Each structure stands twice: as C-alpha cells, then as structure tokens.
Amino acid sequence: MAATDFKDYYSILGVSKTASIDEIKQAFRKLARKYHPDVNPGNKEAEAHFKEVSEAYEVLSDREKRQKYDHFGQYWQQAGQRPSGGGVNVGFDNFEFGQYNSFDEFINELLGRFGSSSPGSSSAGRQSYTYRTPTSGSTGFSGFDNFGDFNRVQEPTNQDREAAIALSLSEAFQGVQKRFSLGNETIEVRIPPGAKPGSRVRVRGKGTVNPYNQVRGDLYLKIEILPHSFFQFEGDNLVCEVPITPDEAVLGGSIEVPTPDGIVKMNIPAGIRSGQSLRLRGKGWFQPKGGRSDQLVRIAIVPPKDISPVEREYYEKIRANRIFNPRSHLQQVKL
C-alpha cells in the first residue's frame, strides 16, 4: 500500500486506538459476517468492504505490525522493511471465495494465514486441535469446527500445540497407551494412572516445527474424561449414589458398594436420611503426591413400586402403629 493509500484501520473496524486484541477480534467477526460474499452474492461493494476489514484485522491483530502502524502512520510498511524474501505476504486481491464450503471454513483459513507472521512476532506458533478416541473408531485431530471457538485459542507464543484427548473413566484410572496419527506421523503416548479432567500430558518434540530455526515445540494433551453411569468427580473425590430400601434406612444394615477397585461392604447406620453421604476412605482417585482420595456414597431411599401381599400387610401394620410423625413441626408454620 502506498503512503497516499493510507487507511485508518481503527475506523474501518470501528474500534478505538486503545482497543484490546479481544475487542479487535470481536469487531472483525461482526464485520466479516456482515460483508462476507456468501451473505452478499454479487455485491462488489460488500466484497470490497470485506477485504478492507480483513486487511485491517491482519495488521491490528499482529502486535509487531500494530506497533509500526501506530508509530509510523502511513509509512508503517516502510519502517524496517526487509529486502524481498523476508516474511509472509498475506494478500486479498486474488481471494477465491468459492473454494470454501462455508463461512466458518473460510474464516478459520483466514485467521490461520494471519497467524503465520514474521519471525519474532507474537502470532507465530500455537495451534489447537481436538482429538477424540472412544467409540467412533476414528482417531485423529481436527481443527475447530466453528468460528466462535476461535476465542478459546491461546495467544500464540511458541511452536507448542494443544489437543484434547478423551478417555473412559477406566482408562484414566488405570492408565493407558494411546496410538494415533498426527499429520503424517504416528505417535504413541502413555497416559499415567490417575489422569483428571483438565489435566495435561506433555509430549516433548511433537509440536510444530519453527521454519526459521527448525526447533520443534511440544504437544500438550488436555485430558477429557467421558461421563460414567455410576461415578462422578466432586473436587478430588469420587461420588456415587446408592439406593437403599426403607427398612434398611430405618434399621440400618450392611450393603455392597462398587468402587474403582471392586465391590466393598459398607455399613448403613440406622435412621439414615435420603441425601446423606457416607465416606469410603482411600477409595477415590489417585493423588499427585501419592495415595488416594475418598469415595463419597450418597444415599437415596427408594420405596418399592410393587410389593407382595405379605409386604403390604406389614407396611399397613407399621402405619397403624407408627408413633413417629416427620411433619409434626409443620403445625407451627405460619405466614
């Protein structure tokens, strides 16, 4: 762009000169959707606006370019300009919008191009993928599937990249060896026992290769644990719900409860109420410093739906002779 073609990128995006990167991204998303050629087929003016806001975002989303633009104004491109061959050129004049299946596909490609800026720039580096393993039979990484997910990508600072890997509760508890494809290479990763939701496993030397110094970053696998039909996490502990019968609640007794290690017996105190929790110490999840957390057993008193004639007879006798009234205190309730 010649000096005489200077454009006020802040005005084009409708943001102030002190706007944060998040505000710039938000403004760009709004305008890109408004002027995208798919939304305005055949509208050359809209297409021109779209190229203009894209150009503005390219500069203002890159810290180094933005600093030059703010400091040198219309001469920012000439400041510290290298001879030919230095840096990546991102142009818009020859964009073929028809090659994309959707706006989201186009915008991900567009933002990916902006992310490949010159060496030393803050926007060179981190990529994000999603990797899922469990039941579909397909393995591998895929890019974010909608434009809104762009907000969750960390500001790129190096050649590391992140991926999410989904494990069953059994795999997370016992540890597992996972093999999957990463681009053209197949890698194996050992997930240690006791992985928790949100924890990360570092795989050294499996990140992106820096094209300038050939140094390869690391791959960080963020653990996702698939829902289990019985166990859930509550902080560091495992939680489960166990049903008991009314007579077990009144009289107490011993019941069998599943744990990650197998079935154990647990005593139910007489008079327990529905919703109360009992603790099985050391039967929860692995702790980083060794040992296990606890398993909390939440009690649910479940009355039978179908009862035998004998059971009905005894329940009727209990009702006829019951002296306990759990609603006696309600007599005192007033507005």
The pLDDT, as a whole number, for residue 155 is 39
Residue 77 lies in a domain: yes
Q: What is the pLDDT of residues 79-135, one digit of tens each?
A: 555 444 443 334 444 455 555 555 555 555 555 544 444 333 433 344 444 434 333
Q: Are residues 8 and 96 in the same domain?
A: yes
Q: What is the pLDDT of residues 187-241, one digit of tens each?
A: 888 998 999 888 888 888 888 887 777 788 888 889 999 999 999 999 889 999 9
Type of residue at 144: F
**Taking the alpha carbons of 162, 163, 167, 169 in that order, is the dihedral positive or negative?**
positive
CB atoms within 10 A of CB 217: 20
Q: Are residues 16 and 79 in the same domain?
A: yes
∠ CA 68-71-75, nearest 5°, is 70
Residue 333 lies in a domain: no
Q: How far is CA 10 from CA 2, 25, 72, 123, 128, in A?
A: 18, 12, 15, 19, 28
Q: Are residues 88 and 160 in the same domain?
A: no
Residue/partner pairs of 213-219 with CB below 8 Å, 24 or more apart:
215/159, 216/159, 217/125, 217/158, 217/159, 217/160, 217/161, 218/160, 219/160, 219/161, 219/162, 219/163, 219/182
pLDDT above 70 for 143: no
Model pTM greater than 0.85? no
- 116 or 269: which leads in pLDDT: 269
The pLDDT, as a whole number, for residue 127 is 43
Residue 104 lies in a domain: yes
Mark which of 86, 117, 148 sits at the end of a domain.
117
Task: Of 184, 187, 172, 193, give the one whose Cα is nearest residue 219.
Answer: 187
Residue 33 lies in a domain: yes
Which CATH number do you get for residue 20?
1.10.287.110
In sequence order, the β-bridge partners of residue 222 are: 164, 200
Q: Are residues 113 and 1 in the same domain?
A: yes
How many structural domains comprise the chain? 3
Q: Which residue blocks in 175-306 are alpha helix, DSSP H? A: 246-251
Q: Are residues 271 and 221 in the same domain?
A: no
Residue 284 lies in a domain: yes
> By mean pLDDT, which of 43-52, 147-156, 280-289 is the weakest?
147-156
Mark which of 196, 227, 258 sits at the end of a domain.
227
Residue 334 lies in a domain: no
* Residue 241: domain span: 232-324
Mark which of 203, 227, 251 sits at the end of a domain.
227
